[in-house]
Amino acid sequence: MAEKGKIYVCALCGQEVQVVKPGAGTLVCCGKPMQPKKDE
pLDDT of residue 40: 62
Q: In this structure, is residue 19 part of a structural domain?
A: yes
Give the integer Cα–Cα distance in Å for 28 and 40.
23
Q: In this structure, is residue 1 part of a structural domain?
A: no
Nearest in space to 36 (alpha carbons), one of 4, 1, 9, 12: 9
The pLDDT confidence band at residue 33, using thresholds 50, 70 and 90, is very high
Which residues have CB under 8 Å from 38's CB, separation 6+? none
Domain that holds residue 24: 7-36
The 10 Å Cβ neighbour count of residue 29 is 17
Structural domain count, the chain: 1
* pLDDT tens string 5-31: 999 999 999 999 999 999 898 999 999
C-alpha separations of 27 from 16, 23, 33 in Å: 11, 10, 6
Q: In this structure, is residue 16 part of a structural domain?
A: yes
Asked if pLDDT for residue 38 goes beyond 80, the answer is yes
The pLDDT confidence band at residue 32, using thresholds 50, 70 and 90, is very high
